[in-house]
Amino acid sequence: MSCLGLVFRSNTRSLGKPHQLEEHVGVAVSQCISVDLQNTKDEQAAGVAHLASPLLDWEDRLPYSIRVLLEAAVRNWDGFLVKEEDVMNILDWKAKRNDVEVPFCPARVLLQDFTGIPAMVDFAAMREAVKNLGGDPARVHPACPTDLTVDHSLQIDFSKCAMQNTPNPGGGEPQRPPAKLSPLKAPRKPLCRGQSSCRGPCDGEPSRNSGPLSVQIENTPLLCPFHLQPVPEPETVLKNQEVEFGRNRERLQFFKWGSKMIENVSVIPPGTGMAHQVNLEYLSRVVFDVKDFLYPDSVIGTDSHTTMVNGLGILGWGVGGIETEAVMLGLPVVLTLPEVVGCELTGSANPLATSIDIVLSITKQLRQAGVSGKFVEFFGSGVSQLSVGDRTTIANMCPEYGAVLSFFPIDNVTLKHLKHRGFEDAKLKSMETYLKTVKLFRSDQLSPREPEYSQIIHINLGSIMPYVSGPKRAQDRVVVSDMKSDFQACLNEKAGFKGFQVPTEKQNDVVPVEFEGNEYQLAHGSVVIAAVISCTNNCNPSVMLAAGLLAKKAIEAGLTVKPYIRTSLLPGSGMVTHYLSSSGVLPYLEKLGFDVIGYGCSTCVGNTSPLPEAIQSAIMQGDLVACGVLSGNKNFEGRLCSCIRANYLASPPLVVAYAIAGTVNVDFQTEPLGIDPAGKSIFLHDIWPSRDELRQVEEELVISSMFRELKEKMEKGNKRWDSLEAPESVLFTWDWKSTYIRCPSFFDKLAKEPLPIQSIENAHVLLHLGDSVTTDHISPAGSIARGSAAARYLSSKGLTPREFNSYGARRGNDAVMTRGTFANIKLVNKFIGKPAPKTIHFPTGKTMDVFDAAEAYQKENIPLIILAGSKYGLGNSRDWAAKGPFLLGVRAVLAESYEKIHKGQLIGIGIAPLQFLPGETASSLGLTGKEQFSISFPQKLSPGMTLDVKTNTGKLFRVTASFDNDVEVTLYRHGGVLNYMVRRLL
């Protein structure tokens, strides 16, 4: 049994004996675990292959992703957390799928700072709790490698349109003069190397028509497109990073303390790149080699985009911070043994279709196929035609179609990519031998047949055409050629997921606006934000190069972008800027207004700078459906800016195209992008780069250099980060005046033993919600509104609105985050009847902010519940979507159905997820939400148990306790996973 047999390390956590499995699987697992590795890696693989001679036919039948689960189960089998029964259930996947829970112990953990800081704060608080209960606080550290990337703290304080803006210092510090910035040094005069693309004088000076010199962040050389010589750093990037370090000083010092004092934690400092991109380019091992033992790389992350790494053949997905903390402390992730949907790809994509078009097409087809909660695994002749960039782009979007992950097994394309990334030939050969031996390598020649899948979906890549997605949901695709007619339909349709219900007589309204001395006209469909972002679903170099080549051709054709459009270029890492520069296209993007503004999440999470007041006024005056176009992967209404109602996702070149057009209300097939100086109409097809152009640039200039440069940057380090001071103590030194980092109250009343499960008596309903309430509605995100409960709290601490920063930056302060829970302006509470972060405090009948009402209930010792419809907790996994309600006093949620990840987070924090019986809803039961509810919990709670509910009006009904397994019941009995882990460490 080769997957079981090839376990190249001893399990230090093992409590059982490997030979107990022999009689069931027909192979000497104990021999394989104790294999002598004094020989070369290839000889090791050959030796284990000999041990695995009595093969069963499961190896060719199991999906590759299930084989990874199987390998991890055997390697981590200890008879306690991972049992023999778990191994046998995975082996019998086809019969046991959907019926059993299995543990998964990932090889490593990936955090980003938005969700990573509460996890690290919890670790610091757990150290305090363990010490207070008589334990050793130093025992609180991750059991597996944990990487934290600081990539979500960047805000756009400086850009082309906002260079004169005064930066928001934040951090609760008195305002000081800004630190001295790195000087912009003029480059030495280089000799012209005679490149055919050089249009400047041969004395080394650029032509006046070439625009300002392109510049780049420290440690990432930027090259002049005409002379290929280093040029100065960009003022915008440096200023944004300088402000980022000043504003987030406390958070960064806390992170640095964690990296120094907590074992197995490493921190990737700001300015390096986004977690998903750095994970792909630098952190991924593909195959772990620890003390001469080999095992597959796998990862669990606190970000939904962790699934990108499945395109590299690394099993991984995103979970909440609560579950991640459990993994960091040695607990496995428990998941229902999933169905695996095989997605067969055939054919070749249309030349005009980019990877984002492929992503959105597959997203729609997989969503329609119903893959929620399942693994998706790709196979077929079309897979080999997709680059690793294409694969990671497709894998990234799996949360949008509901799959747990989308897996591309490792094959020759993967190995070729790793070679370009800098893997040595000897290491690649060893990896290939290992992977082929354990049958984790996809090859038509090696495998006599494809694995068996739960179902198979067939997708012909040749049928995919260019698409955009919107105006409010990622799954609502629109063929680019139908964009104009679809937008018109959206104006006509009733307000909802697609419609805006604009009266017919107002659909052609035009509002004149004066901006920078010129007059422009805004109308429905006018683009006011255009953001090119190279993270997540646009990490593929080809689409970014396509945007650059499109910009180059547009500039050469005399086209421009209107100055009021808030344009920005936010690379996922410095490598993106490097290859845009080295390929010579960055200056053209800059001329169109797409300046590099920094590295990290900004526009996607609502951290964009405000629109000009004149533009906002014009939009409100005309009640216009203004538009944002971005190459991200989230486009919920109001996410970018409260005055922008239509948000479209598009590939980077289409973002540039719509910015040039200035409107989404355009038919690119029949209408021009603009008029050149000679009066000629320029159409999109005139400047769209061909696939051959892209391939040539990517192969010759990008692949190998981008990984080499990132490695050099990581090894060189960050001067600002290196000079940052941090405490050196086992326990973190809390600053009780801090408004960024605060010891949370989760452990204030923690006892060594859990109390019996308590019933909920006479609970009021805090919120009465409908269907598809997302974690965006629940969890604090974006800027802190001036009139909000969080703003009032920060004001009470002496901060001014300019110092508030964002919720993401303050995720380490539970007082801020609790006040920001359910503070989304788009929240629809049935008690209120319109979007607003408000509710009713029923004892007084007053309408209040959600936090204020919850605080009043807590003072009266009244427990709270939430009533909701179907798909409660849809969207990104966010731990504060559970932590926040818990700290508000919510004891249970009663919904028609749940998003699985969020339901697990509720249990992990100690909130009971209750579910109406099939066919029943709050409405069908005649519940108004104004009642008081009493819910009986038995002492011996079991998964799926039916509970009795009684209201103060005399109504009786039953609900299901939505616990999937005994582990979830155990965690709930302890009051959540954090309490459980503290007690386990005593």
Give the pLDDT confidence of 523-538 residue by residue, as tens digits. 999 999 999 987 655 5
Residue found under tokens 């030939």: 425
pLDDT at 26: 31
Identity at 102, one-letter amino acid code:
V
Averaging pLDDT over each range in 37-41, 237-241, 252-256, which range is the top one?
Answer: 252-256
828/768 Cα distance (integer angstroms): 9
The whole-number pLDDT of residue 535 equals 66
Q: Which amino acid is located at 340 in the chain?
A: V
Helix (H, G, I), strand (E, B) or coil at 506: helix
**Alpha carbons 180 and 137: distance in angstroms, whole number:** 40
Query: What is the pLDDT at residue 218?
Result: 26
Question: How far is it, in rounded angstroms, from Cα 781 to Cα 772?
Answer: 18
In angstroms, the Cα distances linking 422 to 88, 163, 203, 418, 704 are 38, 38, 36, 6, 7
Tokens representing residue 772 in the block? 């598809």
Mean of per-residue pLDDT scores for the chain: 81
Count of residues making up the chain: 986
Coil, strand, or helix at residue 523?
A: strand
Residue 182 has pLDDT above 70, yes or no: no
Cα→Cα distances 267→244, 314, 329, 475, Å: 16, 21, 18, 34
Q: Is the pLDDT of residue 624 over 90?
A: yes
User: Among positive and negative, which fits the CA dihedral 488, 492, 495, 501?
Assistant: positive
Position 67 pLDDT exceeds 50: yes
Once rounded to an integer, what is the mean pLDDT over residues 153-158?
A: 57
Give residue-wise pLDDT tens across range 896-911.
999 888 898 899 899 9
State the pLDDT confidence band at 59, using cuts at 50, 70 and 90.
low
Q: What's the confidence (pLDDT) of residue 176?
A: 37
Residue 172 pLDDT exceeds 60: no
**Cα separation, 735 vs 742, whole angstroms:** 8
pLDDT cut 70: percent of the chain above it: 80
Q: Which of 553, 559, 593 is nearest to 678 (CA)?
A: 559
Which residues are paired to 230 by β-bridges?
A: 223
Position 611 pLDDT exceeds 90: no
Q: Give the pLDDT mean for 148-176.
A: 49
Question: Which pLDDT score is estimated for 378?
Answer: 96
The answer to whether residue 761 scores a pLDDT higher than 60 is yes
Per-residue pLDDT band at 409 (split at 50, 70, 90): very high
584, amino acid identity: G
Residue bearing the bigger pLDDT, 960 or 705: 960
Beta partners for residue 377, in sequence order: 342, 407
Rg (CA), the chain: 28
Q: What confidence category does residue 87 fall into, taking pLDDT thresholds of 50, 70 and 90?
A: very high
DSSP state of 834: S
pLDDT value at position 436?
93
What is the DSSP secondary structure assignment for residue 385, as one 8-state letter? G
How far apart are the C-alpha atoms of 900 and 837, rounded to whole Å? 25
pLDDT grade for 58, boundaries at 50, 70 and 90: low
> Using CA atoms, how far apart are residues 414 and 443, in angstroms rounded to an integer?
12
Using the predicted structure, report yes or no on whether residue 984 has a pLDDT greater than 60: yes
Q: Residue 781: pLDDT band by 50, 70, 90 thresholds? A: confident
**Do 408 and 64 meet the contact criterion of CB atoms below 8 Å apart?**
no
pLDDT value of position 212: 30
Q: How confident is the model at residue 115 (pLDDT cuts 50, 70, 90)?
A: confident
- The beta-strand segments (E) located in 18-74 are none
pLDDT at 670 over 80: yes
> 598 or 178, which is more confident?
598
Q: CA-CA distance, 717 to 713, in Å (whole number)?
A: 6
Q: Using an 8 Å Cβ cutoff, are 507 and 524 in contact?
A: yes
DSSP3 helix / strand / coil % (the chain, rounded to 5): 35, 15, 45
pLDDT surpassing 50 at residue 27 = no
Which pLDDT band, with edges at 50, 70 and 90, does 10 fall under? very low
pLDDT surpassing 90 at residue 484: yes
Q: Is the confidence at residue 462, as pLDDT, over 50?
A: yes
The mean per-residue pLDDT over the stretch 411-439 comes to: 91
Partners of 768 in beta bridges = 867
> ω before 201 within 30° of 0 (cis)?
no
User: What pLDDT sits at residue 31?
Assistant: 30
Structure confidence at residue 1 (pLDDT):
35
366, burial (CB in 10 Å: exposed 0-12, middle 13-18, buried 19+):
buried
Q: Which tokens sit at 879?
A: 């731990």
Strands 912-916 and 890-895: parallel
Q: What are the beta bridge partners of residue 892? A: 865, 912
Does a cis peptide bond (omega within 30 degrees of 0) precede residue 471?
A: yes
Q: Which among 205-209, 394-398, 679-683 has the top mean pLDDT?
A: 679-683
Cα 750 to Cα 95: distance, rounded to the nearest angstrom: 42
Dihedral class, residue 234 (left if φ above 0, else alpha if ψ from -120 to 50, else beta): beta
A 10 A CB-CB count for 138 gives 14
What are the structure tokens assigned to 559, written together?
């086209």
- Based on the number of CB atoms within 10 Å of its own CB, is 314 exposed (0-12), middle (13-18) or buried (19 or more)? buried
Q: Select the more confidently predicted residue: 222 or 156.
A: 156
Give me the residues paired with residue 630 across strands: 531, 649
Token readout for 50 is 């000999």
pLDDT at 773 exceeding the cut of 90: yes
Residue 574 CA neighbour count, 13 Å, CB half: 28
User: What is the predicted pLDDT for the residue at 606?
Assistant: 55
For the residues 807-825, what does the mean pLDDT come to?
Answer: 91
Q: Give, for 33, the enclosing helix (H) or strand (E).
A: helix 29-33
The H or E element spanning position 308 is none
For residue 54, pLDDT over 50 is answered with no
pLDDT at 372: 85
Cβ neighbours of 953 (radius 10 Å): 11
Q: Which of 461, 306, 327 is nearest to 398 (CA)?
A: 306
* Contacting residues for 95 by C-beta, under 8 A, at least 6 apart: none
Question: What's residue 25's pLDDT?
Answer: 36
Quickly tell me which residue has 């019933």 as its tokens. 759
Q: Which residue stretches of 262-315 are H helix?
A: 275-278
Question: Which comes out higher in pLDDT, residue 923 or 386?
Answer: 923
Strands of the sheet with 265-268, listed across from one edge: 265-268, 146-149, 108-112, 298-301, 315-318
Would you give the DSSP letter of residue 18?
G
267 is written with which tokens? Answer: 């921190």
Pairwise CA distance, residues 354 & 691, whole Å:
9
In this structure, of 321-335, 517-531, 914-928, 966-980, the range with the lowest mean pLDDT score is: 321-335
For residues 226 and 587, is the Cβ–Cβ distance under 8 A? no
Given pLDDT bands bounded at 50, 70 and 90, which one contains residue 245? confident
Give the whole-number percent of the chain exceeding pLDDT 90.
49
Question: Rounded to whole angstroms, how far apart are CA atoms 972 and 980?
Answer: 9
Q: CA–CA distance from 217 to each of 183, 317, 570 (Å)? A: 12, 31, 12
User: Would the pTM of this model clear 0.75, i.e. be above it?
Assistant: no
Q: What is the pLDDT of residue 324?
A: 87
Question: Average pLDDT for residues 428-457, to the nearest whole number?
Answer: 87
Instruction: Tell me what pLDDT residue 367 has.
Output: 85
Task: Give the span between the Cα atoms of 598 and 602, in whole angstroms.
Answer: 9
pLDDT at 305: 81
The pLDDT of residue 576 is 81
pLDDT digits (tens, 9 = 90+) for 645-658: 999 989 899 999 99
**Residue type present at position 796:** S
CA separation (Å) from 28 to 22, 54, 147, 747?
6, 10, 35, 46
Q: How far apart are CA 833 and CA 708, in angstroms?
A: 56
Of the segments 331-335, 392-396, 401-405, 680-684, which one has the largest average pLDDT value?
680-684
Instruction: Please determine, for residue 23, whether its predicted confidence score (pLDDT) is greater than 70.
Output: no
> What is the rounded distance in angstroms from the CA atom of residue 640 to the CA atom of residue 45?
52
Q: Is 186 a residue whose pLDDT tops 70?
A: no
pLDDT at 215: 28
pLDDT given at position 234: 55
pLDDT at residue number 942: 93
Confidence of residue 140 (pLDDT cuts 50, 70, 90): very high
**Beta strand pairing status for 298-301 and 108-112?**
parallel
pLDDT over 90 (residue 692): no
Looking at residue 724, what is its pLDDT? 87
Distance between CA atoms of residues 487 and 667, nearest Å: 11
- Residue 335 in contact with residue 372, Cβ under 8 Å? no
